[in-house]
Amino acid sequence: MSKFVIVYLSTSGNTKMMAEAIAEGARSRGLDADAISFYDVDVDTLKNADAVGLGCSTFWYKMHDAMERFLDKLSKEHLEGKVGVSFGSYGWSGEAPVQIATRMREMGMHVLDPVLRIMYTPNEKDLEECKRLGKDVAMELKKHKPSEMAVT
CATH number at residue 53: 3.40.50.360
Instruction: Kindly report, residue by residue over 123-141, the tens digit of the pLDDT.
Output: 999 999 999 999 999 999 9
Alpha-carbon torsion 32, 44, 69, 50, what sign? negative
Answer whether residue 92 shows pLDDT above 70.
Answer: yes
- Which pairing describes strands 32-37 and 3-9: parallel, antiparallel, or unpaired? parallel
Q: How many domains does the chain have?
A: 1
Whether the CB-CB separation of 82 and 146 falls below 8 Å is answered with yes
Q: In angstroms, rounded to a whole number, what is the distance separating the alpha carbons of residues 95 and 97?
A: 6
Q: SS3 for 147?
A: helix
E strands, the chain, in order: 3-9, 32-37, 51-56, 58-59, 62-63, 83-90, 110-111, 116-119
In tens, the pLDDT along 40-89 reads 999 999 999 999 999 999 988 889 999 999 999 999 999 999 999 999 99
pLDDT at 150 over 80: no
Kindly tell me if the per-residue pLDDT of 120 is higher than 60.
Answer: yes
| Bigger pLDDT: 32 vs 149 | 32
Contact 4, 51 (CB under 8 A): yes
pTM score, whole prediction: 0.92
Q: Which domain holds residue 72?
A: 3-148
Distance between CA atoms of residues 68 and 31, nearest Å: 28
Q: What percent of the chain has pLDDT over 90?
A: 86
Task: State the pLDDT at residue 146.
Answer: 56
